Amino acid sequence: MVVLSFTISDDGVGAFRDALICLSKFSDDVSLEARKDSFVLSTLNSSKSAYASFKFATTKFFSRYQYHGGGQFPERFYCTLYIRALISLFRSRSGLDNQRDADKQTIIDRCDVVIEDGEGIESRFISRIIFKNGLTSTHRLPYEIAVPVHAKFNKQDAPHHWTISSRTLRELMEHFGPGVEYLDINTEGDHVKFTCFSEKTVSEDMVLKKPLRTTISLEIDEFDDIDVEDDLHIVITVKDFRAIIQHAGITGNDISARYSLPACPIQLAYLGDSVSCEFLIMTVGDRGANPAQKTKKGRKSAPPKTTGPRLEAISRRTSVAPSEPPQPPQNQPEPAPQPAPTASLSARPQLSTARASASRSGVFDLRPTQQQPPSGHDDVREPLCG
């Protein structure tokens, strides 16, 4: 029985592939959730400290979209797929010997997808790729029925926020060298500072090879709007932040950030014409001595600037672990494999003893969607960092 069928045009195939590549930076698996009027791809990393979600507008993104339902999926269908297998389906194949054959290269023209499920039917994600040179390839991928787990974020509990061009953040990331692990975001006067650093322990003979500690200072004029507490340090992993910025830079959209206090998640989000992207990253950090003091700036009313952002970069190499940024979270061991619906879904970063008093412990609000799953699946709910 066909549960879901849709068609992606040539432009949509590239955007779909870019979303999958971004999701692959967080996990090896991706959850697919489809309803009559919505289509969502999401993933949660193994330590349950980072969540990513892409919501596609079915009437705009797909050239054809039909949810058939039925059986155990009357209102919504969900499954989990191996993400790298999906990426390989949607990549363009190019084997040109000369420019004359450019119009015959094996670039995808469109993709027809059918998902089958039901009694006596082997569950398959069937993708039919039609190339511009006339070739057609059909792929059948197995999937696992697993209730998707979503991390909930309450914007009303996150008073600190800012919005900035993704291009500016991409230029900022170019100043960060290889090997850095953490990113500290904090405000100081009329500047917002982005400091990357590493807490890796190195031997004495390797001290000079330790990654640079780099601080990039952005004037608040570079932000469309900003309202944050002064001297509030929010620390996240560079790996997660880089994955988000790389994808946002492709779309060219402004990025909005919302957060409350250290040890609670930060939300990074941006909107496109047909795709809504949301990321929740757990944090650690520290607060200043005067929480009432804030850095504020209203939304820009002038036309966008044509000149590049004013960046003030300061780099230095240290022989000991930097003392200025807050202590980052310790690596957490991966949990033993468990069925997704019944897995423990708390996410608590490990804070140093010195910083624990300045932060409050927090967890994601991780839960399956409000729709009750079919019998045999358990709903999992945990409180949000409050």
CATH number, domain of 35, equals 3.70.10.10
pLDDT score recorded for residue 364: 60
Give the pairing type, strands 213-219 and 254-259: unpaired
In 3-state terms, what secondary structure has residue 14?
helix
Residue 122 sits in the same domain as residue 175: no
DSSP string, 264-332: S-EEEEEE-SSEEEEEEE--EEE--S-TT-EEEEPPP-SPPPSSPP-EEEEEE--SS--SSSPPPPPPP
Q: Last residue of a domain, which of 117, 146, 175?
A: 146
Domain presence at residue 129? yes
Domain presence at residue 142? yes
Domain presence at residue 309? yes
What is the number of residues in the chain? Answer: 386
Residue 170 sits in the same domain as residue 291: yes
Domain presence at residue 367? no
pLDDT score recorded for residue 303: 47
Q: For each successive 10 residues of the chain (386 residues), what is the average pLDDT?
A: 92 93 97 96 95 97 92 89 92 51 66 88 89 90 93 93 95 84 92 88 58 87 94 95 94 94 96 94 83 68 46 44 48 45 38 38 52 45 46
CB-count burial class (<10 Å; 0-12, 13-18, 19+) for 165: buried
pLDDT score recorded for residue 319: 38
pLDDT score recorded for residue 177: 77
